[in-house]
Amino acid sequence: MAELTEVIGSDRTVRLIETATEFRRGLGGRVIWTFSSTVTGGGVAEMLYALVGYTKDLAVDTRWLVIGGDNEFFRITKRVHNRIHGQAGDDGGLGAAERAHVEEVLNANVESIADRVSPGDLVLLHDPQTAGMARAMAERGALVVWRSHIGIDAENEHTQSAWEFLSPLLAYARGFVFSRRSYVPAVLSERPTWIIPPSIDPFSPKNEPLTDPVARAILITSGLLPGTPSVAPTYIRRDGSPGEVSRPAWLAAEELPGPDDPIVVQVSRWDRLKDMTGVLRAFAAHVAPSGPGTLVLAGPAVEGVIDDPEGAAVFAECMAAWQSLPPAQRARTILMTVPMSDVDENAIIVNALQRHARVIAQKSLAEGFGLTVAEGMWKGRPVVGSAVGGIQDQIAPGTGVLLRDPTDLAGFGRAVRELLDDPARAERMGAAAREHVRDHFIGDVHLLRYAELFSSLLSTLVDAQTA
């Protein structure tokens, strides 16, 4: 908490502690269970690490469980994910057979969780993968809330098929959370919903402060920068113990940038909606020919993220696009896959990349929130991001550049080039970006919203008992 106070100030800290004390009183002996489908990779896992940690400091009993599933389960739930984003994804169905498979996998999970969830406990389910747990948890007497970290502003036939698939699974949830109001689908419009934007943890390896020499040492050890580190590539692990980067990343690179050469970075899972290939083409055609700078597209090692079956295919597409670039442009772009075997090491490499970047890109075609945007802004970097989903909620005027049309490769290139050519402007924007994140996207703000949500659900119970 003392560390957090340094970031959010004492008024905000006092408010958080007072709210937690009051909240614990209302909670009685109940436990808050939070369910997700992976401990590594992706924004949800990243956030849960931080928030679950804070609730422990605040003595609120929160436990995180990760569900398992087979490949078919993750193929189906990825299909649902893509369709909630308004895209077909693949040509598979979302009918009775798929729902039966999802239920079968989740029933097996319920068995392994056995009797750990007690009547009256609060259960927070994250994303389509866990939606099918709502019924079993409600039947155990838990109060279930389902959170979608994804969404799209306007529904279409794909979103409708996803919501038709999910709504019977979600019938047992008492409340719903979305990152933006416009993400609430028509089928849930009459149900209790809360709008809670995500947050970042300034002390996790992903965001912890790093000096310039250490950030460079990490990138040299990863293989991205040439030379020998002047200091050890050390950092603090999530559990507080010291860490040192030792694993090199895998790179597709013909030339490495010099230690002081500007780099432009997009960090994303290998997902078509992140449009890594579009960023590659835009940089090659519209940034590389007109000045200095190297593009680094960084993502997880493709075998690392088990609930993301499309990753390998999307990475292969990006690789093919890289290989087919004209040589002079290819030399200015790098694909990097960061090992996932050590979550903290992965995070600190991403941190070092974001800090070393002159400009950060997030040219997604669709985005639930886009934690990488807040992460980049927190490091005082200007972000050029598409005006889609939650990216619009993060890049305020003067804190970065919003690209109206995410498919406008020339427009993206222009925005990046202008920032590379005007370091003073880039620095001003970056400083404003950091303050914007401090005000809106740090965990205390997030936890206060969850406390409101759960208090309100608990008060409906009290009302029902006293009625």
What is the binding site for ligand UDP (CB under 6 A)? Answer: 42-43, 46, 206, 267-269, 298-300, 338, 346-347, 350, 369-372, 375
Residue 79 falls in which region: left (phi positive, over 0), alpha (psi -120 to 50) or beta: alpha
With respect to ligand UDP, which residue has the nearer C-beta, 269 or 414? 269
Nearer to ligand UDP, 185 or 300 (CB): 300
Backbone angles phi, psi at 351, to 5 degrees: -55, -50
Of 136 and 383, CB closest to ligand UDP: 383
Nearer to ligand UDP, 193 or 364 (CB): 364
Residue showing the smallest CB distance to ligand UDP in the complex: 43
Which residue in 201, 125, 203 sits closest to 169, CA to CA? 125
Q: Which helix (H) or strand (E) holds 175?
A: strand 175-178
Q: Considering the complex, what minimum distance in angstroms separates the CB of residue 138 from ligand UDP? A: 27
Distance CA 437, CA 395 (A): 9
Spatial distance between the Cα atoms of 98 and 84, rounded to a whole number of angstroms? 16
CB atoms within 10 A of CB 338: 23
Nearer to ligand UDP, 294 or 354 (CB): 354
User: How many of the other CB atoms lie within 10 Å of CB of 141?
Assistant: 11
Q: Give 35 or 369: the residue with its C-beta nearer to ligand UDP.
A: 369
For ligand UDP, give the closer residue by CB, 48 or 76: 48
CB of 364 to ligand UDP, least distance (A): 8
* Minimal distance, residue 336 CB to ligand UDP, in Å: 9
User: Looking at beta carbons only, is 282 or 298 nearer to ligand UDP?
Assistant: 298
Nearest distance in Å: CB 292, ligand UDP? 25
Alpha carbon of residue 270 to chain centroid:
13
Q: State the minimum distance, in angstroms, from the CB of residue 11 to ligand UDP.
A: 28
Contacts of the segment 24-29: beta carbons below 8 A, 24+ positions apart: 24/58, 24/59, 24/60, 26/455, 26/458, 26/459, 27/60, 27/61, 27/122, 27/454, 27/458, 28/120
Q: Rounded to the nearest whole angstrom, what is the least distance from the CB of residue 375 to ligand UDP in the complex?
A: 5
Contact predicate 226/232, CB 8 Å = no
Query: 63 — phi, psi (to 5°)?
Result: -130, 140
User: Using the 8-state DSSP alphabet, how is residue 160 labeled?
Assistant: H
Least gap, CB of 96 to ligand UDP (angstroms): 29
Cβ 220 vs Cβ 202: under 8 Å: no
Residues 416, 359: contact at Cβ < 8 Å? yes
CB of 267 to ligand UDP, least distance (A): 5
- Round to whole Å and give the CA distance between 126 and 128: 7
CB closer to ligand UDP, 221 vs 268: 268
- Closest CB 115 distance from ligand UDP, rounded Å: 32
